[in-house]
Structure 1
Amino acid sequence: MQRLLFIAVVSGLLLLLSGCNKASFDAVPDKDVMATVNIQEPSLTFFDIEGNNVATWPLKKSYTGATLWQDNTVVLYGFGLAKANVYGLDGEHLYDLKTGTGVTNIYVKNHKAYVANGETNQVQVYDANGELIAEHKVGNYPMSMYEYEGNLYVINYKDTTLSVLDAEHLQIQQEWSIDKSANGLIVPEKTNELWIGGHGEGAKPNRYVKKYDLKIGELIGTIEMPLMPIEFAQDQKLIYTVSHGTNDIYAVNHKGEVSWRMHVGANPFAIATFKDYVIVAGYDDHTLYMIQNGEIIREIPVDKGPFKLLVREGSM
């Protein structure tokens, strides 16, 4: 009887250990991939350059976003979750970032993860091992972030300020005056400008991308892109903007001159570049669009509510 009990205990332990070592999700192939974070039908779906579904991660927690980190890991986060979960693209859970609830965005640059928190009104920075390096108070409801030449630019969504922090220790360098409900920012190549989009406020939806002097934060120009230009992407030639109020995509040069414009998707929130394509996620029509030179090349059905896009290139 004791021998049988010993065998049963050992078998149970081995089963438990094998369960711990088992991948939490399907492995993502070591190739160029794009992915959508779907929040109505919670999942993270990965596609190759041909539009083939190469992996699907069903999500059981209330994640609102994800960010690719170091090309082989993904950080999953949610406003109501006390931790952000870090997974390898082999599907294994690696570790957690103890962010606390209130996370509005996680932005990755130079092997660091910057966490914006709309409850504490702080920005945190973590190293590649998940260790907290620094944190600092900013304005009301930080959300959009962008790092450029050692500075981290942070839009405070429910405020009229943009905070400029040093990207290493998060010390405040400057504060700029901007519109409330601003969203999305980018530094176009070959310029000394920071472009900012936004929703607008109340009965006055925003119609413009606003251009600010990168060094002093002075407003130096506008580009009309109705309605509600909120997200940006760029390649070596053009800057791309999604205006989700009109379901339009604008492609402009570094002077803000329109190269092409097209109507695509239903309620698009996210835009990115992937190889020679511009990719756009239609939130309400649950479709991923692959675009070249203002023409839709491929339409890919995805799970409901694609809200964020991830891209990994040059992995092989």
Structure 2
Amino acid sequence: MRKIFLLCLLSFILLISCQKQAFDASKLQEPYLMVSHLKSSALTFIDLDKNEIMFSKDIRYQLTDLVSIKNGKVVATSRSEKHIFLIDLNIGTIEPIVKVNSGLTGIHYDYLSNLLFVADSTDNQIHIIDLHQNAIVNSVATGKFPTSFESLDQDIYVLNGESNDITVIGGDTYEEIQTFSVIERPAGMIIDNDILWVGGHGPYGKLNREIIGYDPHTGQQLKKIEVGLMPVAFWTVPSSRYLYVLCHGDHALYKVDKKTNEVTDVVAVGENPNFIWGNQGQIFVSSLDGNKVSIIDKERFQLITEVDVPAGPYSIIEEVF
């Protein structure tokens, strides 16, 4: 009887953990930020007019990455859960939609095809999910521990954090077409004006202070720029003169002039920052150990305020309908 009871209890817990959850979408006043958390099972919403939390919802999952798709909906991954999740901001729900694997990290969404690319760091694969069917339609082997994506001319670039390389997946065949080596223990990647920038921690015993620019077509190293300690994330837009580089080793955001390849300014942020997001007037940084979201005026490059949030803030997206 005891075994039967325990099995029933386990089944009940698993059932509860996979149910749709609700939150009060009427509280959302755009524009706002949505923040995932790696150290707490929270989803936090920040009012960008008041620069304060609207509310934070306990969702029973520790979400990793977030990506906006169509019609006010967001897809999220979790390193601990085996599903990807759909967040509907119109009606205020979050639910698991496709079972994939544990150890899911980065995600990339292709608007035209409605395909979602999910990095599986457990099996070292990229899973391609058709969001019309909510089903995996293909999987592609990568290097060890895939973490993040970029795209160029329909090809998908996957950064592999433990094999120190990039896997390029062809946008027409969805097969590997190229692999090239990058810095040791890489973290953070962005393609800007036909340069693929990569940051990272560098080799053990000699921590990295540079971002390195590669030719995305050949993998040839083109540029090096010295920034702060352990650059791990980037943000820019092609029309901007500046590239913003987040360094979690010295808890700072660096402003790099793309024309001169020099750092022009630095602003301090919270402890152990890992994620950056920006818009026309502001830049947002989450600090994993500082439990803050820093809001920075982009033009003056000065800290406006820091918003205290639940433990372990990570991924950020901005929603403006």
Bin for the TM-score computed over the shorter chain:
0.7 to 0.9
Instruction: With the length of structure 2 as denominator, give the TM-score of the two structures.
Output: 0.84
Task: Specify the alignment match of 2:166 in structure 1.
Answer: 162
- 1:190-229 equivalence runs, <5 A: 191-229=193-231
Greater CA drift, 52-61 or 236-245: 52-61
Task: Give, in whole Å, the separation in 2 of the partners of 1:137 and 1:58.
Answer: 34
Task: Specify the alignment match of 1:8 in structure 2.
Answer: none
Task: Give, in whole Å, the separation in 2 of the partners of 1:35 and 1:288.
Answer: 11
Contact 1:26 1:57 in 2 (8 A): no
Q: 1:112 to 1:35 in 2, by over 3 A?
A: same
Contact 1:39 1:306 in 2 (8 A): yes
Deviation at 1:173, TM superposition (A): 1.5
Task: Give, in whole Å, the separation in 1 of the partners of 2:158 and 2:88.
Answer: 28
Deviation at 1:23, TM superposition (A): 6.1
Structure 2 segments unaligned to the other structure (5+ residues)? 1-18
Task: Give, in whole Å, the separation in 2 of the partners of 1:22 and 1:75.
Answer: 14
Task: Specify the alignment match of 1:3 in structure 2.
Answer: none
Contact 1:147 1:167 in 2 (8 A): no
Task: Specify the alignment match of 2:302 in structure 1.
Answer: 295
What letter corresponds to residue 228 of structure 2 in structure 1? P
Task: Give, in whole Å, the separation in 2 of the partners of 1:169 and 1:45.
Answer: 38
Q: 1:265 to 1:170 in 2, by over 3 A?
A: same
Structure 1 segments unaligned to the other structure (5+ residues)? 1-20
What letter corresponds to residue 101 of structure 2 in structure 1? G
Task: Give, in whole Å, the separation in 1 of the partners of 2:296 and 2:62.
Answer: 30
Task: Specify the alignment match of 1:307 in structure 2.
Answer: 314
Q: 1:216 to 1:71 in 2, by over 3 A?
A: farther
Task: Give, in whole Å, the separation in 2 of the partners of 1:94 and 1:41.
Answer: 18
Task: Give, in whole Å, the separation in 2 of the partners of 1:84 and 1:69.
Answer: 13
One of 230, 233, 244 as aligned partner of 1:231: 233
Task: Give, in whole Å, the separation in 1 of the partners of 2:313 and 2:141.
Answer: 31
One of 8, 23, 26 as aligned partner of 1:25: 23
Task: Specify the alignment match of 1:124 in structure 2.
Answer: 127
What letter corresponds to residue 83 of structure 1 in structure 2? H
Count of residue pairs the alignment pairs up: 292
Q: 1:41 to 1:204 in 2, by over 3 A?
A: same
Task: Give, in whole Å, the separation in 2 of the partners of 1:182 and 1:65.
Answer: 18
SS in 2 for 1:200: coil
Task: Give, in whole Å, the separation in 1 of the partners of 2:150 and 2:167.
Answer: 11
Deviation at 1:22, TM superposition (A): 8.9
What letter corresponds to residue 199 of structure 1 in structure 2? H
Contact 1:265 1:287 in 2 (8 A): yes
- 1:276-295 equivalence runs, <5 A: 276-292=281-297, 293-295=300-302
Task: Specify the alignment match of 2:93 in structure 1.
Answer: 92
- 1:269-280 equivalence runs, <5 A: 269-280=274-285
Contact 1:127 1:133 in 2 (8 A): yes
Task: Specify the alignment match of 2:153 in structure 1.
Answer: 149
Instruction: With the length of structure 1 as denominator, give the TM-score of the two structures.
Output: 0.85
Deviation at 1:95, TM superposition (A): 5.1
Deviation at 1:205, TM superposition (A): 1.4
Task: Specify the alignment match of 2:10 in structure 1.
Answer: none
Deviation at 1:203, TM superposition (A): 1.7
Q: Please tell me whether residue 112 in structure 1 is matched to residue 115 in structure 2.
A: yes
Task: Give, in whole Å, the separation in 1 of the partners of 2:44 and 2:272.
Answer: 19
What letter corresponds to residue 59 of structure 2 in structure 1? L
Contact 2:21 2:95 in 1 (8 A): no
Task: Give, in whole Å, the separation in 2 of the partners of 1:307 and 1:242.
Answer: 13
Task: Give, in whole Å, the separation in 2 of the partners of 1:299 and 1:79.
Answer: 27
Task: Specify the alignment match of 2:12 in structure 1.
Answer: none
Task: Specify the alignment match of 2:182 in structure 1.
Answer: 178
What letter corresponds to residue 276 of structure 1 in structure 2? G
Deviation at 1:169, TM superposition (A): 4.0
Cα deviation, 1:198-226, whole Å, max 9, x if unaligned, reads 12232221111000012211001101112
Cα deviation, 1:78-103, whole Å, max 9, x if unaligned, reads 22312112121122245512211221
Q: 1:71 to 1:272 in 2, by over 3 A?
A: farther
- 1:65-84 equivalence runs, <5 A: 65-70=65-70, 72-84=72-84
Task: Specify the alignment match of 1:18 in structure 2.
Answer: none
Task: Specify the alignment match of 2:5 in structure 1.
Answer: none
What letter corresponds to residue 53 of structure 1 in structure 2? I
Task: Specify the alignment match of 2:9 in structure 1.
Answer: none
Sequence identity (%): 25
What letter corresponds to residue 307 of structure 1 in structure 2? Y
